[in-house]
């Protein structure tokens, strides 16, 4: 599925598989950007300590994404 955000010729940049057909992880680039924006919006709505923990754990400590 060449319109998938993770598609790279011959591989997938999100998963360690080479089979795109029927992939449950499939999203278009637009869908991926919208989901990413919503996730960050949710993180920024959390209390500061929880937000800091998430950024430190999953985003290499930086709050600027």
Q: Is the pLDDT confidence value at 48 over 70?
A: yes
Return the ∠ at Cα 6 (arms to 61 and 42), rounded to 5°: 45
Given its phi and psi angles, is residue 52 left (phi above 0), alpha (psi -120 to 50 degrees) or beta? alpha
Domain that holds residue 61: 28-65
Give the number of domains in the chain: 1
* Residue 57 to residue 36: CA distance in whole angstroms: 17
**Domain assignment of residue 34, yes or no:** yes
Q: Is the pLDDT confidence value at 64 over 80?
A: no
**Domain assignment of residue 63, yes or no:** yes
Q: Give the pLDDT of residue 16.
A: 86
Which tokens belong to 11? 């591989």
Per-residue pLDDT averaged across 1-14, rounded? Answer: 87
**Domain assignment of residue 5, yes or no:** no
**Domain assignment of residue 45, yes or no:** yes
pLDDT-derived band at 36 (thresholds 50, 70, 90) equals very high
């Amino acid at each position: 599925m060449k319109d998938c955000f993770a598609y790279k010729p011959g591989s997938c940049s999100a998963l360690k598989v080479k089979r795109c057909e029927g992939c449950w992880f499939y999203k278009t680039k637009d869908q991926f950007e919208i989901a990413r924006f919503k996730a960050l919006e949710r993180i920024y709505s959390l209390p500061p300590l929880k937000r800091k923990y998430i950024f430190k754990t999953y985003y290499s400590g930086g709050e600027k994404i």
